[in-house]
């Protein structure tokens, strides 16, 4: 097994925390805006699962950093250029169809990703994955059922789901990239080789889309950059809202 330094694992845990907190915050934006009460509650529960996942990854990163920072410092005291989440996670929530189609794309990815991460030789990453995958299975059941309802529902719901899919598809390719850090950790048996997940992801997503009579877009364009800290204009705005209370009252706890 290749020698991997603590810093690499810390950076890896941090970006996994970034993915989780950013998508969690986006889903939480539905609070009090859900299409009906039960769905409003469901979205908040999903958001909470993601934010809880972020806390576990950030706490681990803080433990490895061992420099006095805590999970909150990772979430609230880093700017958008320091965030390394996938771009797919940060896009504004859009309409309900957009949110549910994105959740489907993310949930299927997480399912395969976390299955692999559970095999990590790093005990903490493996434990977090083992916990998170149970929630992801539940999320996926719900998001795939929603995509079916939207696709097979009315002309309007189908149109919105298809539009969402067309707008999001180009952002999914980034999930299957592997940068130097990820390559190093995958080689060491600590991280996941994302490139190995693409075939299974594509098969499962396309089969759900087919059932929903939605058309998988062609791979015509792709946008990347999140893992390097290059983001869409939307992340900075989102972080501004997410971080402002903490930054106005540093160190405050309740």
Number of H helices, E strands in the chain: 10, 0
Q: Which residue has the tokens 């097979």?
A: 152
Out of 10, 29, 52, 158, the residue judged to bind other proteins by CB under 8 A: 52
Identify the three-state secondary structure at position 215.
coil
Q: CA-based Rg of the chain, rounded to a whole angstrom?
A: 18
Cα separation, 160 vs 163, whole angstroms: 5
Q: Is 31 a binder of other proteins (CB under 8 A)?
A: no
Nearest to 53 by CA among 68, 79, 71: 71
Rounded to a whole number of angstroms, the minimum distance from the CB of residue 77 to other proteins is: 21
Question: What are 160's two structure tokens?
Answer: 């919105």
Which segment (41-49, 91-99, 102-110, 174-182) binds other proteins by CB under 8 A?
41-49
Q: Which is nearer to other proteins, 52 or 216 (CB)?
A: 52
- Tell me the CB-side half-sphere exposure of residue 162, using CA atoms within 13 A: 15
Residue among 41, 199, 244, 245 that touches other proteins (CB under 8 A)? 41
What mask, x for binding other proteins by CB under 8 A, covers residues 114 to 133? Answer: ---------xx-xxx-xxx-
Residues that bind other proteins (CB under 8 A): 24, 38-39, 41-42, 45-53, 55-56, 123-124, 126-128, 130-132, 134-135, 137-138, 141-142
């Amino acid at each position: 097994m290749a020698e991997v330094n603590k810093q690499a694992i810390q950076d890896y845990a941090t970006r996994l925390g970034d993915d989780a907190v950013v998508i969690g915050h986006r889903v939480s934006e539905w609070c009090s805006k859900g299409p009906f009460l039960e769905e409003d509650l469901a979205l908040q529960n999903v958001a909470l699962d993601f934010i809880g996942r972020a806390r576990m990854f950030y706490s681990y990163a803080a433990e490895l950093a061992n420099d006095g920072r805590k999970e909150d410092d990772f979430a609230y005291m880093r700017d958008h250029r320091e965030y390394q989440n996938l771009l797919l996670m940060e896009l504004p929530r859009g309409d309900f169809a957009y949110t549910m189609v994105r959740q489907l794309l993310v949930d299927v990815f997480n399912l395969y990703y976390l299955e692999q991460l559970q095999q990590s030789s790093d005990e903490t990453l493996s434990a977090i994955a083992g916990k998170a995958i149970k929630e992801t299975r539940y999320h996926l059941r719900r998001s795939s059922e929603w995509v079916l309802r939207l696709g097979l529902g009315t002309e309007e719901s189908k149109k919105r789901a298809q539009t969402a899919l067309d707008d999001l598809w180009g952002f999914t390719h980034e999930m299957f990239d592997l940068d130097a850090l990820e390559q190093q950790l995958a080689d060491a048996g600590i991280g996941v080789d994302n490139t190995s997940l693409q075939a299974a992801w594509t098969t499962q997503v396309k089969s759900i889309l087919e059932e929903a009579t939605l058309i998988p877009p062609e791979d015509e364009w792709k946008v990347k950059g999140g893992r390097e800290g290059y983001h869409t204009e939307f992340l900075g705005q989102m972080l501004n809202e997410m971080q402002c209370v903490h930054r106005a009252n540093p160190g405050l706890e309740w």
